Structure 1
Amino acid sequence: MPDAPARDVLAVDGLVRRFGKLTAVDGVSFHVAPGETYGLLGPNGAGKTTTISMIAGLIRADAGTITVAGEPVGPQHVAVRRRIGLVPQDLAIYPELTARENLRFFGRLQGLGGHDLARRVADVLQLVGLDSRADGATKEFSGGMKRRLNIGIGLLHRPELLILDEPTVGVDPQSRNAILESVEALSVEGMAVLYTTHYMEEAERLCDRIAIVDSGRIQAEGTRDDLIRMLGGVDQVRLAGDGDLEAAAAALRELPAVERAEAGADHAVVLAVRDAPSAVASLVTGATEAGLALHDVEITRPNLEAVFLHLTGKALRD
């Protein structure tokens, strides 16, 4: 008998939140499975933080439902919060305490104690890469180290759902990479992660599925490849060389993978190609046989920036 499918850790249905005449979240629905990292990708003001504040039970929803591990979530439902770890944008640590002391303090607030607390503190310090600095005062930490400690605090009580709200804002590239490596390790442990960001590369690197959020609504949802296919999954290829560009373009149009081929003004043929990496050999052969002496091949693949622009009519950081 086949195993029953795993129940979603988080299920959000028809979520709405208004502030006066402003509808900050407008009918948002999605789900997150065990071991999945789900991204909310959108600019500041898109409604991401309001959404996760409702999911964490900090503010009420005007409409819609939220469940975590099958239990309803809201300000009046206190017990379910033990299943949730929230890592806010603002740091929630005590600078005069060491990393270990911070973790012990917050662990006690989460109901941990004794050997279990000591073991969890040690495990979390190792996971976020702070075990060598465990007994240093956090006021001496870099911004990235403080951010990693913030994540560790959210992990202490072994939540089934970890919510990370823009965890890399304002940190240097090296610290940012360390934070992303820590997040990548979480889904391996089977934890469901809800990750908000306005950085395309973070969403592409970390998230199994991504929701593009703008103006309080989910504009599109899916894996990176699902979203790219919304643009037709067509790559751009630029073949630069010397020779009869018009003849080369005409010959290349006959190839099955080529949707368009035009002679450019800069000694190049520009093509729209389905799955360019697998077709590039035939493109080079076709161009060469048509008399083009190639000296450069450039492939540009669609990315989430292009998808976001297509869906919203604006760049992500507008």
Structure 2
Amino acid sequence: MISISHLAKKFAVENPKKLSEQEKKDPRLKGKFFHSVKDVSFTCDKGEVLGLLGPNGAGKTTTLRMLSTALKPDGGEIVLEGVNVVRDPLLARKKIGFLSGSTGLYGKLTGRENITYFGQLHGMQLQAIQQKINELADTLDLHSFLDRRCANYSTGMKQRIAIARTVVHEPKVVILDEPTTGLDIMATQTVLNFIRGLKNQGVPVIFSTHHLAEVDELCDRVSVINHGLTEFDDTIAAFRELAPQSLHQAFLHTLKQDVSSCG
């Protein structure tokens, strides 16, 4: 289980005069600081999939980067299986699998070599890494390109290798930042099936998305962030009850928008 309580993160604004008019109107801008995340809380238990929703710029990616230990919060607490992620990030990283918005693969290496390298960074033995790669190649359909250089991959190929790299060390929680963005229908379904497989294994999965059909298909819980604040955090059933017409309407409801004027 992972529990997130009252997370906060601000960034210094180097030159406020260069901000756009929209950025200047954002209520999170206070003097020389932009409070990207002001107060975010949610939980994800074993075997649960949590969909993290919010408009562009709401603070989702900043939140996920704090969960991954890539960013240190200014306030709040993250606890993963009894480990305080903020106080002990090195121990926490062994338990976390994080896929960022950019795959970050080494283009001159093959998919297999990329996955192997990250397995070694986690202290895995080569035999265990190769066994895990074979397993992931089956579930993520990697066999046809696994031993080709990543520089020649399509977007979908890169994303599937990046996901394999994310979970090679069998993390206790998996965090995915918009994992299906830019993928075709077949690659998207492969990723969604993989997330479903993690759920069946009892692994908590937190993923951000703009695709409410994915939330409808996979999620047990939903958390909505807007302007750096948690506006909703509950079960998918409770989310549906906000606006029985559709999840789209429910999402707009959490943003306090007039759903009747949005079709």
Give 1:1-318 correspondences, 5 Å limit: 9-20=1-12, 21=30, 22-74=34-86, 77-231=89-243, 233=244, 302-314=245-257
Q: Say whether the 8 Å CA contact 1:99–1:138 is kept in structure 2.
A: yes
Could you list the per-position Cα deviations for residues 53-105 of structure 1 after superposition, in whole angstroms to 9, with x for gaps in the alignment?
A: 11111111111111111101127631221000111110121122222111111
1:103–1:63 CA distance, 2 compared to 1 (3 A): same
Q: Distance in 1 between matches of 2:161 and 2:186?
A: 16
Q: Distance in 1 between matches of 2:257 and 2:178?
A: 21
Q: Say whether the 8 Å CA contact 1:162–1:193 is kept in structure 2.
A: yes
1:126 CA displacement:
1.6
Q: Distance in 1 between matches of 2:101 and 2:221?
A: 22
Equivalent AA in structure 2 for residue 110 of structure 1: H
Q: Distance in 2 between matches of 1:217 and 1:139?
A: 39
Q: Say whether the 8 Å CA contact 1:52–1:163 is kept in structure 2.
A: yes
RMSD across aligned positions (CA): 2.0
Q: Distance in 2 between matches of 1:192 and 1:85?
A: 11
1:75–1:132 CA distance, 2 compared to 1 (3 A): farther
- Residue-pair matches, total: 240
Q: Which structure is higher in RCO with an 8 Å CA cutoff and minimum separation 6?
A: 2
1:85–1:315 CA distance, 2 compared to 1 (3 A): farther
Q: Distance in 2 between matches of 1:131 and 1:185?
A: 19
Q: Distance in 2 between matches of 1:97 and 1:58?
A: 24
* Greater Cα offset, 127-136 or 162-171: 127-136
1:224–1:79 CA distance, 2 compared to 1 (3 A): closer
Q: Distance in 1 between matches of 2:236 and 2:199?
A: 17
Taking structure 2 as the reference length, what is the TM-score of the superposition? Answer: 0.85
Q: Distance in 2 between matches of 1:41 and 1:304?
A: 11
Could you list the per-position Cα deviations for residues 233-269 of structure 1 after superposition, in whole angstroms to 9, with x for gaps in the alignment?
A: 4xxxxxxxxxxxxxxxxxxxxxxxxxxxxxxxxxxxx
Equivalent AA in structure 2 for residue 14 of structure 1: H
Could you list the per-position Cα deviations for residues 150-173 of structure 1 after superposition, in whole angstroms to 9, with x for gaps in the alignment?
A: 100010000001110011112222
1:314 CA displacement:
4.5
1:40–1:226 CA distance, 2 compared to 1 (3 A): same
Equivalent AA in structure 2 for residue 306 of structure 1: Q
Q: Distance in 2 between matches of 1:195 and 1:175?
A: 16
Taking structure 1 as the reference length, what is the TM-score of the superposition? Answer: 0.71
1:145–1:204 CA distance, 2 compared to 1 (3 A): same
Q: Distance in 2 between matches of 1:149 and 1:190?
A: 22
Q: Say whether the 8 Å CA contact 2:116–2:126 is kept in structure 1.
A: no
Q: Of the two, which has the highest radius of gyration?
A: 1
Q: Distance in 2 between matches of 1:107 and 1:311?
A: 40
Q: Distance in 1 between matches of 2:136 and 2:201?
A: 13
Could you list the per-position Cα deviations for residues 107-161 of structure 1 after superposition, in whole angstroms to 9, with x for gaps in the alignment?
A: 1111111321211111122221112332222222221111011100010000001
Q: Distance in 1 between matches of 2:184 and 2:142?
A: 17
1:210 CA displacement:
0.7
Q: Say whether the 8 Å CA contact 1:308–1:315 is kept in structure 2.
A: no
Specify the alignment match of 1:4 in structure 2.
Answer: none
1:313 CA displacement:
4.0
Q: Distance in 2 between matches of 1:12 and 1:224?
A: 18
Q: Say whether the 8 Å CA contact 1:41–1:199 is kept in structure 2.
A: no
Q: Distance in 2 between matches of 1:218 and 1:148?
A: 30
1:80 alignment partner, SS class: helix
